[in-house]
Structure 1
Amino acid sequence: MALKKTAAQMVSEARARIEEIDSIEAIAMLDDENVQFVDLRDPRERERTGFIPGAFHCPRGMLEFWVDPDSPYFKEVFAQDKKFVFHCASGWRSAISVATLQDMGFDAAHLKDGFGGWEKAGGPKEGGPEAGGKAEKA
């Protein structure tokens, strides 16, 4: 069975219309109090590889509900007047997520190469194997 649209097409279309931030630029934004990083990865990914210091953890499956102020699941972090930078492991889930948020009227950007790119660029992290595999709730 052929799909009408592949996941790769969805990512490509999303990337064509959203703001992408490379890892070097994102690392420079880490200490900016007007920027909130949001980690969309599964809790097991965070435990396995660590996470960006100060990143708010929002599992991908809850994103639209946590961002929507009319949802019973709304999280106040998304009411802040900040620049939101979403990320996943490689930038695919976050690209589609930010395009969806854009469709909802929520302004956001995403980390183009994901947490993997962040690590390769030498970005600081917390948790992961060197912390005994335990990720703190952020």
Structure 2
Amino acid sequence: MLGPQHNEADHAAWMSSIAHIRSTPGFDQGWPPVAGMTLAENHEDLAGHAQRSHQRVDFAYSVIDIATGDVVGCVYFEPSSTGEREVAASSWVSAARAELDGLLTEIVGAWLRAAWPFEVVHYRLGEVPVTIRRSPEQPVG
């Protein structure tokens, strides 16, 4: 899960990639802020992500290079507030690791279809936003 334990690495990843992330589908609504954040502001933001994940309000995950410990991106799931089994998902990778965007998109899409109970998923395939609907007979997990 994304949380304060990733503060420095997360901050470095997105602060160096603001324009790149804002050009990624799903991130044209004001995040990340053009002016960035201080490390302390980022820590507070990450604490909020961790709390919301713990409360199962929404879910945020760090994408970490296990060889270096660097944060290379993040994945976010925002379930519908209507009680429907629907989710909006988004993901980004840092500009320095832009070549991983397609792979991350494929992995997240497959993970959402295979392991999560959502019937409707709003995500993207490459640069194209899509809606994926699970058929009633399609098992989860």
Q: Which of 1 and 2 has higher RCO (CA within 8 Å, sep 6+)? A: 1
Does the TM-score normalized on the shorter chain lie above 0.5?
A: no
Give the TM-score normalised by structure 2: 0.26
Q: Which has the higher strand share?
A: 2
